[in-house]
Homo-oligomer: A and B are copies of this chain.
Amino acid sequence: MGSADESSVKVLSVWRSMFGVRILMALKEKGVEYEYIEEADLRSKSQLLLESNPVHKKVPVLIHNGKPLCESLLILHYIDETWPPKSAHHKPLLPHDPYQRSLARFWSGYVDKMYDACLLIAKNYPGELMEQGKSAIRECITTLEGALRDSFGGGQPYFGGSHINLVDVALSSYLCWFETLEALGSFKVLDENTCPLLSAWAKAVVEHPSVKAGLATAPSKKMLESMYCIRKNVFGLVD
């Protein structure tokens, strides 16, 4: 490690981004101190963001020792490969076995199929696109329920079994949006009757300290108010 500045860890994000929230969860899971920098206005991006992610110009960015890393799932890999578990009671986010690791990568990638659907619900209310968004989210949730049952030995608390893994972090970051989506779309994202395993997973994972701390940075009430505000000011929608 070099000077204090060189060995620093910075997260550049927007508080309501699930992709940013998952980075905070992973850093907290590893016990890594970081400086959080809010990207104030995505319509007028900061020089730091433009220089750190010149290709996609998107948050989140992790800046470690002055070097920028982009794409939230890749950042989770980097965090897992850079910092060891913080105690003997913790495990890496990625399983040791290459096949299990590939499964974790596959499903954490699958989780992000929900993002476009979330945007449809946030932006289009009411309307056909809203229904498309709800339908897409229901399909993802059903598929994830099947994955938890068939590929991850449902019955354990987490996708990672008794400890959280990459899929748990990736999926739990969406929980900060679910209440808002439910309010905007007048529907239930996680229904105990149709997805009992995922519902039980959600109840367990929100109590996991690093997940809880990550979600606390994007509380549901603030998220809903923010969405109404964006819909009015950015999209010109009035309810």
Nearest neighbor of A147 in chain B, beta-carbon distance: B55
Q: Mark A187-214, 1 if CB is under 8 A from B, else 0.
A: 0000000000000000000000000000
Q: Mark A61-80, 1 if CB is under 8 A from B, else 0.
A: 00010010111001101100
Q: Which residues on the B side are within 8 Å of A67 (C-beta)?
A: 99
What separation, in Å, do the CA atoms of A109 and B69 have in the docked complex?
Answer: 14
Nearest neighbor of A102 in chain B, beta-carbon distance: B78
Q: Mark A91-103, 1 if CB is under 8 A from B, else 0.
A: 0000000110110
Residues of A in contact (CB 8 Å), total 21
Min distance, Cβ A31 to any Cβ of chain B, angstroms: 17
Q: Which residues on the B side are within 8 Å of A105 (C-beta)?
A: 71, 74, 77
What separation, in Å, do the CA atoms of A98 and B81 have in the docked complex?
Answer: 6
Asked if A55 contacts B99 (CB within 8 A), the reply is no
Picked from B55, B78, B98, B102, the residue with its CB within 8 Å of the CB of A98 is B78
Min distance, Cβ A39 to any Cβ of chain B, angstroms: 19
What separation, in Å, do the CA atoms of A136 and B73 have in the docked complex?
Answer: 24
What separation, in Å, do the CA atoms of A55 and B142 have in the docked complex?
Answer: 11
Nearest neighbor of A143 in chain B, beta-carbon distance: B55
Report A96-117 residues with CB < 8 Å from chain B CB. Answer: 98-99, 101-102, 105-106, 109-110
Asked if B110 contacts A69 (CB within 8 A), the reply is no
Residue A162 at the B interface, CB < 8 A? Answer: no
Q: Given A55-B143, A143-B55, is A71 in contact with B109 using a C-beta cutoff of 8 Å?
A: yes
Picked from B69, B71, B81, B106, the residue with its CB within 8 Å of the CB of A74 is B106
Min distance, Cβ A150 to any Cβ of chain B, angstroms: 9
Residue A82 at the B interface, CB < 8 A? Answer: yes
Picked from B55, B78, B102, B143, the residue with its CB within 8 Å of the CB of A77 is B102
Report A41-75 residues with CB < 8 Å from chain B CB. Answer: 55, 64, 67, 69-71, 74-75
Q: Which residues on the B side are within 8 Å of A101 (C-beta)?
A: 77-78, 81
Min distance, Cβ A75 to any Cβ of chain B, angstroms: 8
Chain A residues within CB distance 8 Å of chain B: 55, 64, 67, 69-71, 74-75, 77-78, 81-82, 98-99, 101-102, 105-106, 109-110, 143
Top 7 A-B pairs ranked by shortest CB distance? A81-B98, A78-B102, A82-B98, A74-B105, A69-B102, A74-B102, A78-B98
